[in-house]
Amino acid sequence: MRFEPIEKKSTPWIGLWWDARKTSMSSPVLNLADLRKFKGTVRIWIMKNRFKTEDTANRPDYVFRITDAKSDNPYDVEVKDLEDHEEEESERLYTESEVRTIIAGVVRDAQSGYSAGDLLISDYV
């Protein structure tokens, strides 16, 4: 039987803040040199910040941490150049016709019982 050393490393919980304008969450900037302490495979854990309340607006909505993990079938991460990714997320102006289509779709789906968080502009354009 062969034993593999388990490093048992983990980052502390790191905040994820909600950006309503972009309808996404972001973390603080991470230094990859700090993550080089991990060897092999890792897992990312995300959970709602239990310390976030109405009175604590400066606290993150969610938190995450990275931990050592073992898996027989790890997920292969694809790394893209920023130039390729910027086109997908760039802001643009919408035509009147597109805006009318978006509004009609949102109204239709809102009347069908979808909640506001389910209705994204990208679903209608």
pLDDT tens for the chain, 125 residues long, are 454 445 688 999 999 988 888 888 899 998 888 888 888 889 999 999 888 887 777 888 899 999 988 888 888 888 888 775 555 555 667 788 888 888 888 888 778 776 656 666 666 66
Order of strands, sheet of 62-68, starting from the edge strand that comes earlier in the sequence: 24-26, 14-19, 62-68, 42-48
Find all residues with CB under 8 Å of 108, minimum gap 6, and list them: none
Tell me which residue of 87, 18, 19 sits closest to 48, measured CA to CA. Answer: 18
Beta strands 14-19 and 24-26 are: antiparallel
